[in-house]
C-alpha cells in the first residue's frame, strides 16, 4: 500500500460543481501538447487539456484502483501536491450512460455528413468536436468495463 505521504489530492471541477475528489499516487491526462502524468512532488504546472480520459491511480502499487473520468477540455493546475482539473465537462466512467453516448456519436456522425454536403465549415467543426466527445465517453466507459 502507498504511504500516505506519497499520495496527493486530485480534484475535478466543472461549471456544475465538484465531479471528483480523491487522493492518488498519479494522475494521467492528455494535454494539448501530448500525454502527461503527474506524480507526488511534481513541479508546479498549469496546462490546457484536450478532450480525453483522465486516469487516477488511487495507490502506488499496480493492483490499486484506477478511476477513469472523461473530460471535454479544460486545464490542469498542480501545485503543493494538489492537482485541480477545471474542465468544460467531466463524467466519471461509472456514471456514463453508454446508450446515450452511442446515440450522441450517431447524431454527430450524421451532422458531419450533412455539414460536408452543405460545405458548412462551422457546423462541421462543431460536429467533429461532438463526435470526439462521444467517442471519448464510450472509450472511458469501456476502460472501466473491461
Task: Kindly report, residue by residue over 66-117, the tens digit of the pLDDT.
Answer: 999 999 999 999 999 999 999 999 999 999 999 999 999 999 999 999 999 9
Hey, what's the cell of 73? 477540455
Say whether both 106 and 138 belong to one domain. Answer: yes
Beta bridge partners of 86: 13, 75
Domains in the chain, number: 2
Say whether both 86 and 125 belong to one domain. Answer: no
Say whether both 133 and 80 belong to one domain. Answer: no
CA–CA separation, 119 and 117 (whole Å) = 6
The model's pLDDT over 5-62, given as tens digits with 9 standing for 90+, comes to: 689 999 999 999 999 999 999 999 999 999 999 999 999 999 999 999 999 998 766 5
Reported pTM: 0.89
Say whether both 31 and 69 belong to one domain. Answer: yes
The pLDDT, as a whole number, for residue 61 is 60
How many CB atoms are closer than 10 A to CB 124? 17
The pLDDT, as a whole number, for residue 2 is 45
The model's pLDDT over 112-145, given as tens digits with 9 standing for 90+, comes to: 999 999 999 999 999 999 999 999 999 999 998 8
Rg (CA), the chain: 17
The pLDDT, as a whole number, for residue 8 is 95
Please count the residues of the chain. Answer: 146
Say whether both 89 and 102 belong to one domain. Answer: no
- Quickly state the pLDDT bin for 63 (edges 50, 70, 90): low
The burial of 52, by beta-carbon neighbours within 10 Å (0-12 exposed, 13-18 middle, 19 or more buried), is given as: buried
The pLDDT, as a whole number, for residue 1 is 46
Instruction: Report the candidate in 49, 51, 97, 90 with the shortest Cα–Cα distance to residue 67.
Output: 90
Range of the domain at 89: 4-93
Q: Which of 60, 78, 93 is the last residue before a domain boundary?
A: 93
The pLDDT, as a whole number, for residue 22 is 94
How many CB atoms are closer than 10 A to CB 32? 10
Are residues 50 and 70 in contact, defined by beta-carbon separation less than 8 angstroms? no
Say whether both 58 and 104 belong to one domain. Answer: no
Amino acid at each position: 500500500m502507498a504511504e500516505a505521504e506519497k499520495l496527493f489530492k486530485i480534484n475535478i471541477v466543472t461549471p456544475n460543481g465538484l465531479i471528483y475528489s480523491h487522493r492518488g499516487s498519479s494522475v494521467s491526462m492528455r494535454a494539448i501538447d501530448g500525454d502527461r502524468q503527474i506524480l507526488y512532488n511534481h513541479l508546479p504546472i498549469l496546462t490546457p487539456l484536450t478532450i480525453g480520459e483522465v486516469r487516477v491511480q488511487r495507490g502506488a502499487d499496480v493492483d490499486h484502483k484506477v478511476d477513469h473520468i472523461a473530460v471535454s477540455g479544460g486545464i490542469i493546475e498542480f501545485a503543493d501536491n494538489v492537482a485541480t482539473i477545471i474542465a468544460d465537462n467531466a463524467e466519471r466512467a461509472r456514471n456514463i450512460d453508454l446508450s446515450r453516448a452511442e446515440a450522441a456519436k450517431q447524431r454527430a456522425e450524421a451532422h458531419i455528413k450533412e455539414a460536408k454536403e452543405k460545405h458548412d465549415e462551422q457546423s462541421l467543426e462543431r460536429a467533429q468536436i461532438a463526435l470526439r466527445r462521444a467517442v471519448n465517453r464510450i472509450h472511458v466507459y469501456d476502460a472501466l468495463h473491461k
